Amino acid sequence: MSATMKLKQGSFLWYLYLDKLYCLLSVRNVKALLEYFHLLDVHHNNTLNDVLFYHFLHHVTSWKRTQIMTVFNMLDWNAMGEIGFDQFYMLVCILLAQQNHLEEQFIFRHSRPVFELLDLEGELRIGAENFHMYNFLFNIKKQDLRELYHDFDITGDRRLNYKEFKLFTIFTMDKYQERQKAEKDKDKGKKDLLKKKRLHHVNVSLKQFLGINVSESRL
């Protein structure tokens, strides 16, 4: 996904909660999403065609039409011109992961489904062009994309098989956790500094107060 993609406030997806550890919806949220899917399915086919799909994403996201149709074609892997609830659920989880800045976590937890989505030709290999085409979905940094094929293309064919892709997801997850730890340490440092300043302020105030009382007691 592009960095500017946002779920539109007040839309149905805005109120769904994505588990931050496993990047999945709760059973209650899945049931609510299924009901929502049935409401969108005006033809009662248990599927969404490209028109219904476009209007759904246009309503809940800031994606452009070309991006929406690119995603539809990716999800419609058997070229039937429609998608079912499984693909719809996968998409919603991706949207919520991006909204909550959990892209690395999502790719790591669901590496097999993500690999299959990006494997457009069913060749069990992913070329660099696939990542560039769908990078607005997963928001992989350009530097990470360069490292992806430089460091993890073990076979040297400029394409990744699943094992190579899995290694990449482990690597990006490690980097994500390192960033999270660094941010926590930074926040802890700020809190400790603020605490010291407050203690210093209290001590100064206390000394001033005691000093005034001492001077008053001498008079």
pLDDT at 217 over 70: no
The pair phi, psi for residue 102, each rounded to 5°, is -120, 30
Structural domain boundaries enclosing 164 = 12-169
Per-residue burial over 100-110, b = 16 or more CB atoms within 10 Å of its CB, e = otherwise: eebbbbbbbbb
**Res 78: pLDDT:** 85
Q: How many domains does the chain have?
A: 1
Asked whether residue 68 is domain-assigned, the answer is yes
Is pLDDT above 70 for 138?
yes
Q: How far apart are CA 86 and CA 79, in angstroms?
A: 16
182-214 pLDDT per residue, tens: 877 777 777 767 777 777 776 767 677 666 554
Residue 42 is assigned to a structural domain of this protein? yes
pLDDT of residue 211: 65
Q: Where are the beta strands (DSSP E) in the chain?
A: 48-49, 82-83, 126-127, 159-160
Q: Is residue 146 part of a domain?
A: yes
**The pTM is what?**
0.77
Average pLDDT over residues 135-164: 85
Would residue 180 count as lying in a domain?
A: no
Confidence of residue 2 (pLDDT cuts 50, 70, 90): very low
Neighbours of 93 (CB within 10 A): 23
Q: pLDDT tens-digit profile of 43-76?
A: 999 999 999 999 999 999 999 999 999 999 999 9
- Within 10 angstroms of residue 129's Cβ, the number of other Cβ atoms is 11
Per the domain annotation, does 201 fall within a domain? no
Return the CA Rg of the chain: 25
> Residue 4 above 60 pLDDT?
no
Report the CATH number that the domain containing residue 162 is assigned in CATH: 1.10.238
Q: Is residue 186 part of a domain?
A: no
| Cβ 177 vs Cβ 40: under 8 Å | no
User: pLDDT tens, 79-131?
Assistant: 899 999 999 999 999 999 999 999 999 999 999 999 999 998 889 999 888 88
